[in-house]
Structure 1
Amino acid sequence: MPEPQPLASLPVSLPTDWQALLAPYRWRAQTEGCSDAAVFRLEAIGQNTLFLKTERMHAHAELADEETRLRWLAAQGLACPAVMASHFQSERGWLLLSAVAGNNIYSSALPAAQAVPLIAHALKALHQVTAANCPFDHSAAVRITHAQARLQAGLVLLDDVDEENQGLTAEQLFQKLVSLQPKSEDMVVTHGDACLPNFMAENGTFTGYIDCGRLGVADRYQDIALALRDIHADFGSAYVPLFMEHYGLATLDEQRIAFYTLLDEFF
């Protein structure tokens, strides 16, 4: 792990009001995770560790969405970073967050036999939150519209798609997505980006959700599909049944998995 650097060398500017508050801190860049924002771990002797997230503001920026969702999630009594401060200008946004205990499951040394049940139970707990109380609509139709807007804005990297989608044009990729849209949805509160780096654990216990900018009411397979994709890639297909057992799935809906995995290509 690289040594922490003085705050003065931070590669992005800080809001003026934050400079004195954060002066004692040193920073490390965070390279793991699924967020588009730049993320920095801030450490100071005798102070709580903080995380600074910053993003250039544009029509599809998600940092303001993350603040709103973190505040809502915390109000439901679920573990996530606390919003310590936020600052948004026309060109850039900043979010200052508390640290969640432990390490993310992707980078931790937690064995698959322990990690996979933690992920399953974390998603199950989130999916049991009353969806009617959640104000964030992430239904398939809404997300398809958002995916098309991101594609038209040039934010979808076609050279970074999954192997089965390589060689498709942008329009072909989008048409494939539309053709896979589920005819019905089992709506729950979803994380929206349920990849392994977004689950935190300490001493074998789940400690919180991070990178929550895409949290919203969607089909439960929004999370199941991405979690299974990462479990398959990082732990092996042999652990998929273990996830199913602990989440409570007797069978898998392969069409919904295909749709939500493809949808993730656009975000």
Structure 2
Amino acid sequence: MSIPADPVPVPELVRDLARGAALECVWINGAGGKTFRATPADGDVFYIKWGPRGDETTMRAEAERMTWAARWIRTPAVLDQGEDDTHEWLVTAAIDGESAVAPRWIAEPATAVRAVGEGLRMLHDALPVEECPWDWGVPSRITNAAVRGIRVPEHLQDAPSVDRLVVCHADACCPNTLLADDGSALAFVDLGALGTADRWADIAVASMSTEWNYGPGWEDALIEAYGVEPDRERLAYYRDLWNAT
């Protein structure tokens, strides 16, 4: 996943969804998905997420989870969602914030890492486990991987005991937290797999992603900002599970 360095061709469907708004591709992923910022001549900015239909998470699932989570945390409002035989799309309202990996925050890693850690704790504390209809626990992740033809290694079949059951973001990498202008966590995106699981499933991935985005040395700073001591066993397990699935 990355911010494109060169102009990206705009799919015809995205042009239709933009309704004449100026388009700029702001994010691409390895599966062929693209996210465009749409700026109308008169009206509010919105975003169009477009990509090939997948079998792990769908934009329909993401729209459902965003709408549910928005009762307790800030997420972009869903304006439209749909799919055809080959592709799917999600249209959301803009939020006045930037990804934690926008150039400004890449240049201020201490601020960004702290915000992502504090934001993740805020998300875990706010979303009610008892009302969440989705599961992201280890058994369901292993089953999902098997459906996609992925064999999870034997040593990952038995998970550590659950430290604290929360509603996990399920893709808590740093780019998926939006920051306010003052450097605080503002909102969350890419919630397509959101569900209940041990909080370390999110903490492990969020802290691991700091190296991808800001360089080495920031993992424990994120965990400190979250407000816990590093649990090396759970961190290692959930990072291996993430990489395996």
Q: TM-score normalised by the shorter chain: which range applies?
A: 0.7 to 0.9
Distance 2:222 2:228 in 1: 8
Is 1:201 matched up with 2:196? no
Moved >4 Å (runs of 4+): 1-5, 32-36
Is 1:218 matched up with 2:216? no
Query: Contact between 1:30 and 1:41, CA under 8 Å: does it hold in 2?
Result: yes
Shift of 1:74: 0.8
Aligned positions, number: 238
Distance 1:36 1:186 in 2: 35
Cα deviation per residue 1:126-163 (whole Å; 9 max; x = unaligned)?
A: 111221111111111111111222235xxxxxxxxxxx
What secondary structure is seen at the aligned counterpart in 1 of 2:116? helix
88-97 or 116-125: which moved more? 88-97
Shift of 1:90: 4.1
- Alpha-carbon spacing, 1:23–1:32, altered in 2? closer, same or farther (3 Å): closer
Q: What is aligned with 1:113?
A: 110
- Could you tell me which runs of 5 or more consecutive residues in structure 2 were left unpaired when the two chains were aligned: none
Distance 1:66 1:226 in 2: 19
- Residue 45 (structure 1) aligned to one of 41, 44, 57: 41
Q: TM-score if structure 1 supplies the norm length?
A: 0.78
What secondary structure is seen at the aligned counterpart in 1 of 2:135? coil
- Could you tell me which runs of 5 or more consecutive residues in structure 1 were left unpaired when the two chains were aligned: 153-170
Distance 2:173 2:29 in 1: 8
What secondary structure is seen at the aligned counterpart in 2 of 1:75? coil
226-235 or 202-211: which moved more? 226-235
Distance 1:174 1:53 in 2: 33
Q: What is aligned with 2:52?
A: 56
Is 1:27 matched up with 2:23? yes
RMSD of aligned Cα (Å): 2.7
- Alpha-carbon spacing, 1:150–1:122, altered in 2? closer, same or farther (3 Å): same
Query: Contact between 1:69 and 1:212, CA under 8 Å: does it hold in 2?
Result: yes
Q: What is aligned with 1:228?
A: 207
Distance 1:36 1:199 in 2: 21
Shift of 1:35: 8.0
Distance 2:18 2:219 in 1: 43
Is 1:124 matched up with 2:126? no
- Residue 81 (structure 2) aligned to one of 81, 86, 90: 86
- Residue 264 (structure 1) aligned to one of 228, 242, 245: 242
What secondary structure is seen at the aligned counterpart in 1 of 2:74? coil
Q: How does 1:158-173 map to 2 (within 5 A)?
A: 171=151
Query: Contact between 2:23 and 2:37, CA under 8 Å: does it hold in 1?
Result: yes
- 1:47 partner letter: G
Bigger radius of gyration = 1
Query: Contact between 2:114 and 2:221, CA under 8 Å: does it hold in 1?
Result: yes
- 2:47 partner letter: F
Cα deviation per residue 1:77-119 (whole Å; 9 max; x = unaligned)?
A: x111110112233443221111222221112322122112211
Distance 2:188 2:70 in 1: 10
Distance 1:90 1:32 in 2: 21
- Alpha-carbon spacing, 1:149–1:266, altered in 2? closer, same or farther (3 Å): farther
Shift of 1:186: 2.2
Q: What is aligned with 1:165?
A: none
Query: Contact between 1:34 and 1:211, CA under 8 Å: does it hold in 2?
Result: no
33-42 or 125-134: which moved more? 33-42
